[in-house]
Chains A and B, each alone.
Chain A
Amino acid sequence: MNKRMVSRILKIVRYAVIILILCVFLFPVYWITITAFKPMSEWNTWPPHFWPFHPTLANFAVKGILPFLRNSLVVSSAVAFISAAISLMAAYAISRYKIGGTGLAGWFISMRMLPPITIAIPLYVIYVKIHLLNTWLGLILVYLIPTVAFGIWVMISFLNEIPKELDEAAYVDGATRLQTFRHVIFPLSLSGVAAVVVLSFVQTWSAFLLATVLTSDSAAQTLPVYLGRFVTGYNIEWGPLAAAGLITMLPPIAIGLIFQRYLIRGLTFGAVKG
């Protein structure tokens, strides 16, 4: 066997391993997707159907999903915009004035990494007392914690890329700091703001634990909580459940893939630029 043959075989093996890994890792997504299009007669079969032989859209008329979809949209959108505003301001202070130094920055990191259950327990008791349980406002407030902490990192790396000479030039021209922020920094950071808005949106959209602890019915429960309730009970309707799952996972997949770069920055606190 000559050298060229060996390298060819190695190449084939390499592709085979990659495809095998991808098949395993994408199988759960694949299964949700095809089940969403299977009619009832294909949900439980032996051998299992690896393709919907009689595809249907009927599953997507999921009974009673609308209030939960509405709650998810309202809470996630509110969190997205408020957290973009708060994190842009905080990032501006950190990027331009170095306020708080590494101590404050470290504190913000720890806010991002908190196990949600540790905040859920005391907040549950507090929310009972101040009647925020099962409300949009209660959910919005708590989901601002991880999204603002995350947004600050994305924004800092954005603002650091805007040349400081621009600030100085505006300042020399007689603009106040606030005017500089409004007319120079803000327009230039819009793509960063957009990234924080959509990434905060999907984070809140996908979040489960706090929503399940702090809400109790369709007045405020979000889609993932709705999915969680679906599985309890014996006769699970796999088709509609998978369809609801598909609706829940599509926005995060689409947005996550489009905004990969900023996702990396936020996830690694600016340490990796991506």
Chain B
Amino acid sequence: MEESTIALENKNKPVKNSVRAHDRRIAILFILPAVILFLVMAIYPFIYMIYTSFTNLNLSMSGTGQFIGLSNYFEIFHDPLALGSIWFSAMVLLIAVPIEMVIGIMFGLLIRGIKGERVFRLLFLISMMIPGIVFGISAQMIFNYLFGSANYFLSLFGISEIAWFGHAATAQFVILFLDVIQWTPFIFLITYAGLLSVPQDLIDAAKVDGASRWQLFANVEFPTLKSFIYIALIIRLIDALKIFGKIYMTTWGGPGMATSSWSFYIYKVGVSYGWDIGYASALALILLIASAVLVNLLIKVLNLGETLELRKEG
């Protein structure tokens, strides 16, 4: 903010000042609807949520809403369900996201430059366009105990049927599997765009010099790809914290609380059966802070001044 005003003032000749002031008014007028929207629909609710996180507000009980200090925050540490949910969200981040990264990048390298590249690319992108909730329906059928095709495939290898949603480990596997299916194409989309931006003459030069496929990747492609990979990774980490619809549709957080994610637990506490807004607010605020940390990292990596040509040139 300050930076740009200073830049403006330094550049202006006194004669042009009134024009610049007029421009500025127009710019403010144009940006206003967006700013008001975010202030009213996001910032105000967040401030309200900070307030409710210090109260015992419960929509199913009258007379609640008193100030109770930090109790809600202390409760989190004594609530195994909350800690378990945070742990499952961490599992998505630590297991599903790395798998998505590897397959996503690999798929780009696999199809690069071969016959049918465009078709493969199109087909691979389909699953990232599908609403998570529809994946849930599909998973319900595929992982059905009696009639599911997952158990059918296993039976071909002589493995007896598995009650996928009945055990913690297999239910977690299903959710992570769905996450991988849905979001690997996103990693592919970004890193493949990076791959396309590697200058062709560099690739040709390396080939002339007799570089192996691995050397080509490590020395020519990877250096360009690095920033793309980093951006894709951070965006994916932020989004992985939101995992909700697939859980809602398949396991409902079960068995027990094995597949309850952070977002899903907040939903259960605040909306689905608890209406315990105070506690849900505290949980949500911590989630918000966790994502804010990642978003800040993302903003640094994106180098906005350059990518959006935000700084005044000259």
Note whether A and B form a binding pair: yes
A118 touching B49 by the CB < 8 A rule?
Answer: yes
- Residue in A15, A202, A273 whose CB lies within 8 Å of B193: A273
A109 touching B302 by the CB < 8 A rule?
Answer: yes
For chains A and B in complex, what number of residue pairs have CB atoms within 8 angstroms?
331
B140 touching A249 by the CB < 8 A rule?
Answer: no
Least Cβ distance of A7 to chain B in Å?
A: 11
- Residue in B33, B125, B128 whose CB lies within 8 Å of A86: B33
B107 touching A152 by the CB < 8 A rule?
Answer: no
- Residue in A89, A116, A144, A177 whose CB lies within 8 Å of B31: A89
- Residue in A102, A111, A121 whose CB lies within 8 Å of B281: A121
- Residue in B30, B294, B304 whose CB lies within 8 Å of A89: B30
Give the distance in Å from the alpha carbon of A26 to the alpha carbon of B126 in the complex. 8
In the bound complex, residues from chain B placing their C-beta under 8 Å from that of A248 are 131, 133-134
A208 interface hit (Cβ, 8 Å):
yes
Give the distance in Å from the alpha carbon of A29 to the alpha carbon of B146 in the complex. 21
- Residue in A28, A87, A253 whose CB lies within 8 Å of B34: A87
Interface residues of B in 103-133 (CB under 8 A from A): 103, 107, 110-111, 114, 120, 122-133
In the bound complex, residues from chain B placing their C-beta under 8 Å from that of A273 are 193
B235 touching A144 by the CB < 8 A rule?
Answer: no
B254 interface hit (Cβ, 8 Å):
no
Interface of B is mostly: helix
B299 touching A106 by the CB < 8 A rule?
Answer: yes
B186 interface hit (Cβ, 8 Å):
yes
Interface residues of A in 1-52 (CB under 8 A from B): 11, 14-15, 17-18, 21-22, 24-29, 31-32, 35, 43-48, 50
Interface residues of B in 238-258 (CB under 8 A from A): 238-239, 241-242, 244-245, 248-249
A122 touching B137 by the CB < 8 A rule?
Answer: no
In the bound complex, residues from chain B placing their C-beta under 8 Å from that of A14 are 110, 114
Q: How many residues of A contact B (CB 8 A)?
A: 112
- Residue in B26, B137, B277 whose CB lies within 8 Å of A32: B137
Give the distance in Å from the alpha carbon of A117 to the alpha carbon of B239 in the complex. 12
Stretch at the interface among A53-61, A63-71, A188-196, A261-269: A261-269
Give the distance in Å from the alpha carbon of A113 to the alpha carbon of B103 in the complex. 24
In the bound complex, residues from chain B placing their C-beta under 8 Å from that of A109 are 295, 298-299, 302, 304
- Residue in A43, A118, A148, A157 whose CB lies within 8 Å of B37: A148
A92 interface hit (Cβ, 8 Å):
yes
A108 touching B34 by the CB < 8 A rule?
Answer: yes
- Residue in A97, A116, A160 whose CB lies within 8 Å of B242: A116
Stretch at the interface among B70-78, B90-98, B201-209, B265-273: B265-273
Give the distance in Å from the alpha carbon of A213 to the alpha carbon of B266 in the complex. 11
B84 interface hit (Cβ, 8 Å):
no
A114 interface hit (Cβ, 8 Å):
yes
In the complex, per-residue mask of A96-113: 1 if CB is within 8 Å of any chain B CB, else 0: 111111111111111101
B33 touching A25 by the CB < 8 A rule?
Answer: no
Q: List 26 A-B contacts (CB under 8 A).
A: A22-B124, A25-B127, A25-B181, A28-B181, A44-B146, A48-B148, A86-B33, A93-B27, A94-B31, A102-B299, A104-B1, A105-B308, A108-B38, A116-B263, A121-B281, A123-B45, A206-B132, A224-B245, A227-B249, A228-B133, A248-B134, A263-B189, A267-B186, A267-B189, A271-B302, A272-B190
Chain B residues within 8 Å of A, Cβ to Cβ: 1-4, 7, 22-24, 26-28, 30-31, 33-35, 37-38, 41-42, 45-46, 48-49, 52, 57, 59, 103, 107, 110-111, 114, 120, 122-142, 144, 146-149, 152, 178, 181, 184-186, 189-190, 193-194, 227-228, 231-232, 235, 238-239, 241-242, 244-245, 248-249, 263, 266-267, 270-271, 277, 280-281, 284-285, 287-288, 291-292, 294-295, 298-299, 302-305, 307-312
Question: What 10 pairs between A and B have smallest CB-CB spacing?
Answer: A256-B129, A97-B27, A206-B131, A28-B138, A122-B45, A90-B34, A122-B49, A93-B30, A93-B31, A93-B27
